[in-house]
Structure 1
């Protein structure tokens, strides 16, 4: 059964201003205003008209709920949207997962190169070898900075969000 929320005024539910409602129910504006706040009753005829209006709105709400259910059915635009969104989601997941793996691989490789350059510093006999190690250190530091742990965490966060969205879309498509 359709029940009006306590804190919702009857005018809000009906979508009609007080003056208009008083005219439709053929009652004085003051009587309708007092009825709307719960301080006065309505004549039997006006009360009957109001009940018919509320019953009509209740039926409209039920019909709208049926329409929403039908709009979500197989082959509907809503289902097509969910299917398309699921495909986009899976493509994004693949892209982000690939970016994350590349980022991790570059980071790990550069860290290893930096460690090795640090290990070899001071062990080289030629000045040009020491200069080459400095070049390697700078290059690997730049790679580490571009593929830092914060960037990896961002990729992981995006991937988790996409997986949660995937679960939600699959639930919607299965009708749960």
Structure 2
């Protein structure tokens, strides 16, 4: 079965197609594909000729499908659309990162200030308010922590690398 799979993959033909092209009964090809039988000389020569033809095509670099990547092709349209999506994702990620950093910095400043003011308040309600502020700023720091910021930065770098790759693909390099 492995032999048929490899030959089928290389030639792009199914078992019944191979049998037709080699002028063999399907059962003979199936037995050859599973390694249970050899091919008649004529069929073996045709198979060798097909494989040689494809190998020659690969070596020539004559790819008749290069037009599929040319201007206006579906592949290029996909790359263009993907580039637009990528740039939108980059903008979103950069915005999220900046908001996260701003919230983190603000909360850190609030926590530092609350620590500074602790013990300086004369009223009990002021000290209670400081505890509420500390709790709120600690929650904000935890929610916008440095690990989350690093994750956003990593995602942003990946998106920028993808952008470079898409631009390279669109330029034909």
TM over 0.5: yes
Match of 1:163 among 160, 163, 166: 160
Q: Which residue matches 2:46? A: 49
Work out the CA distance in 1 between the residues paired with 2:90 and 2:172. Answer: 23
Deviating above 6 A after TM superposition, structure 1's stretches of 4 or more consecutive aligned residues are 59-64
TM-score, normalised by the number of residues in structure 2: 0.74
RMSD: 3.8
Q: How many aligned positions are there?
A: 168
Work out the CA distance in 2 between the residues paired with 1:164 and 1:66. Answer: 30
Deviation digits for residues 120-173 of structure 1, max 9, x if unmatched? 111112222212211211221121122111221221121111111111111111
Q: Which residue matches 2:15? A: 16
The more displaced of 114-123 and 52-61 is 52-61
Work out the CA distance in 1 between the residues paired with 2:165 and 2:67. Answer: 20
SS in 2 for 1:65: coil
Rate the CA distance shift 1:125–1:48 in 2: closer, same or farther, 3 A.
closer
Q: Which residue matches 1:126? A: 123
Rate the CA distance shift 1:120–1:23 in 2: closer, same or farther, 3 A.
closer
1:151 aligns with 2:148: yes
What 5-or-longer segments of structure 2 have no aligned partner?
A: none
